[in-house]
Amino acid sequence: MKTAVRFGMVVLGVLAVVGLMVPSAALAAKEIKIGVIYPLTGGAAAAGRELRAGAELAAKIANNVMTDISMDMAKNSGIKNMGGAKIKLIFKDHQGNPTIGADLAKKLILDDKVDGILGCYHSSVTKTVSAVCEQYGVPMINGTSTSPALTKRGLKWFWRTTPHDKWFTKDLFELLKGLTEGKVRGVKAVPKKEIINLASACEKTEWGSHVSDIIKSLAKEYGFKLKKSLLYASKSPDLSSEVRSLKAVRPDAMLFASYTSDAILMVKTLKAQKAAPKIIWGQDAGFEKPEFRSTLRDSIVGILTRTVFLPKVAQIKKVAGQVNTLYKKNTGNDLGGASARAFTGLQTWVHVLEKAGSTKPADIQKAANALKIPGKELVVPWAGIQFAASGDEIGQNVLGSGLIGQYQKDKDGNLVLEIIYPFDVATADMIFPFSF
């Protein structure tokens, strides 16, 4: 009897603890809270670390006066129009799970009372988080998710700075077209029939299946023949049947959308199977990760990947070089596609707040829709940031652009990504055709 009572008390106690968790303390003065939702643990934790470092660096630059960086936000301490209010980032971990992401967004909005949200890397998580933000009328800026569908939903509280997969894939087809027209640095015009046959393999996820669809439609538009287009189960232990299936159609170019482990296995299997396409192109993600490079080493020379930021950009662009030095001092690594875009995402937040002059959602919305950041402010090689306020892609940055890099060896024998596209900023001659 007594035990049962005690037991009941425990149950009640547990429930009561859950119930009485009161909301956290009231807003401190002169502080702007931005909730940042990234995959800090789970399969994409490595990317999460980069993203976090990028966003933290941007916040540091915004909150302090840094004369050695030629950016507007480095000139002031905090947000000038709001009396020097400081940016405070609250990091949350979504583990790559959309449901957890939505829960965290609710928590940030209702419990932590954030003024805005930044995130979330995985497109599937960004989808649920942006839906929550829309419901509560809290602005969200997304810097790193590239699924085109995100900005096609007509959301009023969601802005995306990064270009999406359709642009990136279009870049690839522009490159292929450029090859036939002799526009590529170091390569003579290639007859179209030599690179007309394509094959694509994308992972079977939200992101991969979108990319696959885009490749299909763009191939038709540009007059290439997509002989084979397959989706494979990600984190597969073996890809040899997929590779044989691709090989069987004798494609001139193979296009992939894969995360790290699959990208490594795919290239290894391609090599083992002695597949010999003239072009291998990866849709960022796995193809840009340090592990991809360190595992496969010299066998990736000649592989192309789309990206938004390469260390080479730091040589062309002064601002990028300055930020990169600082980033390298903090983390030991160069800025990458993920960290540079996270940096830009938070930088956009700073500009939006500066323009809005308050944290009222309506003011932020107005400021974001009228925002225009010139390209010289940014670390990424874009023409600037300006969001579409109408049309079928509301909230999408229209001034972004992508890069296509190629793994090459520099004169010291190190593997570096050289810029191949856009043609006018190419840093090296393209290696064509590719061979293992």
Partner 1 sequence: MDILISSLFAGLLIGMVLALVALGLNIIFGVMEIVNFAHGEFLMVGMYTGLFTAQATGMEPLLTLPVAAVVGFLLGIICYYGFIKFLIRGPMVAQLLGTFGLMLFLRNIALLIFGSEDRALHHGILVDKSFDMGMGVIVPATKLTAAGLSVVAFGAVWLLMNRTKIGKALTATALNAQGARYMGIPTERMNALAWGIGGGSVTIAGALIVNFWSVNPFMGLLFTMIAFAIVALGGFGSVPGAFFAGLVVGLITEIPGIWDFFTYTFNFDWMNNVPMTSLKYMWVYLAYFVIVVVRPRGLFGWKQ
Partner 2 sequence: METIKNALDFSDSPRIDLTIAGLVALFLLVFPIFPHSAFAMATMIQFLMFSLYGMGWNTIGGYGGQVDLGKAQYVGIGAYTTAVMLIRWDVPFWISMPIGMCFAVIWSFIIGYPLFRLKGHYFAIATIATTLVLKDIFEVWDFVGAARGLEISPIKYIPPDFLRLIFKQDVYYYYVILGFFFLGILYVNWFRRSRLGFQLRSIKDNEDVAQSLGINVHWAKVKTYAIATAFVSLVGSFHACYIKNIEPEDTMSLDLSILIALMAMLGGAGSLWGPIIGAGILIPCKSYLKEWLGAQVGLVGIDLIIYAGIIMVISAFEPRGIWGIVEKVRRRKRS
In the complex, the smallest distance separating the C-beta of residue 297 from partner 1, rounded to whole angstroms, is 7
In the complex with partner 2, the residue whose CB is nearer, 195 or 226, is 226
The only residue of 81, 299, 365, 386 in contact with partner 1, by rule CB under 8 A: 299
Binding site residues, partner 2, CB under 8 A: 1, 3-5, 7-8, 11-12, 14-24, 40-41, 45, 91-93, 97-99, 102-103, 106-107, 109-111, 124, 127-128, 130-132, 134-136, 149, 153-156, 204-206, 208-210, 231, 233
245 scored as a contact of partner 1 (CB under 8 A):
yes
Binding partner at 136 among partner 2, partner 1, none, C-beta below 5 to 8 Å by kind: partner 2
Binding partner at 265 among partner 1, partner 2, none, C-beta below 5 to 8 Å by kind: partner 1
SS3 for 387-434 is ECCCCCCCCEECCCCCEEEEEEECCCCCEEEEEEECHHHCCCCCCCCC
Rounded Cα gap, residues 306 and 154, in angstroms = 27
Binding window for partner 1 (CB under 8 A); candidates: 67-75, 115-123, 270-278, 415-423 = 270-278
Closest CA to 231 of 252, 253, 261, 256: 256
Residue 169 · residue 283 · CB < 8 Å: yes
Binding window for partner 1 (CB under 8 A); candidates: 39-47, 307-315, 323-331, 347-355 = 39-47
In the complex with partner 1, the residue whose CB is nearer, 189 or 233, is 233
230 scored as a contact of partner 1 (CB under 8 A):
yes
Rounded Cα gap, residues 398 and 292, in angstroms = 31
274 scored as a contact of partner 1 (CB under 8 A):
yes
Binding partner at 23 among partner 1, partner 2, none, C-beta below 5 to 8 Å by kind: partner 2
**Farthest-apart Cα atoms in the chain, separation:** 90
Report the SS3 class of residue 86. strand
The only residue of 69, 231, 416, 425 in contact with partner 1, by rule CB under 8 A: 231
Angle, helices 318-331/45-63, rounded to nearest 10 degrees: 120
Binding partner at 291 among partner 1, partner 2, none, C-beta below 5 to 8 Å by kind: partner 1
Residues 6+ away with beta carbon under 8 Å from 218? 166, 169, 170, 173
Binding partner at 299 among partner 1, partner 2, none, C-beta below 5 to 8 Å by kind: partner 1
In the complex, the smallest distance separating the C-beta of residue 78 from partner 2, rounded to whole angstroms, is 25
What type of residue sits at position 115?
D
Segment holding 128, helix H or strand E? helix 123-136
297 scored as a contact of partner 1 (CB under 8 A):
yes
What type of residue sits at position 33?
K
235 scored as a contact of partner 1 (CB under 8 A):
yes
| CB contact burial 398-415 (16+ within 10 A = b; e otherwise) | ebbbbbbbbbbeeeeeee
In the complex with partner 2, the residue whose CB is nearer, 162 or 205, is 205
228 scored as a contact of partner 1 (CB under 8 A):
yes
Binding partner at 1 among partner 1, partner 2, none, C-beta below 5 to 8 Å by kind: partner 2
Binding partner at 180 among partner 1, partner 2, none, C-beta below 5 to 8 Å by kind: none
Closest CA to 48 of 119, 131, 106: 119
In the complex with partner 1, the residue whose CB is nearer, 190 or 199, is 199
In the complex with partner 2, the residue whose CB is nearer, 106 or 268, is 106
- H helix runs in 285-383, sequence order: 290-296, 311-316, 318-331, 337-356, 361-369
Report how far apart the first and last C-alpha atoms of the chain are (Å, whole number): 76
Binding partner at 232 among partner 2, partner 1, none, C-beta below 5 to 8 Å by kind: partner 1
Rounded Cα gap, residues 149 and 203, in angstroms = 17
In the complex with partner 2, the residue whose CB is nearer, 6 or 329, is 6
Rounded Cα gap, residues 251 and 228, in angstroms = 8
The only residue of 24, 64, 217, 240 in contact with partner 1, by rule CB under 8 A: 240
Rounded Cα gap, residues 419 and 129, in angstroms = 34
In the complex, the smallest distance separating the C-beta of residue 166 from partner 2, rounded to whole angstroms, is 15
Output the DSSP codes for 208-277.
HHHHHHHHHHHHHHHT-EEEEEEEE-TT-S--HHHHHHHHHT--SEEEEE--HHHHHHHHHHHHHTT---
In the complex, the smallest distance separating the C-beta of residue 120 from partner 2, rounded to whole angstroms, is 13
Q: Is the dihedral of CA 65, 27, 81, 55 positive or negative?
A: positive
Q: Could you list the residues that contact partner 1 (CB under 8 A)?
A: 41-46, 201, 204, 228, 230-233, 235-238, 240-242, 244-245, 248, 260-261, 264-265, 268-269, 271-274, 291, 294-295, 297, 299
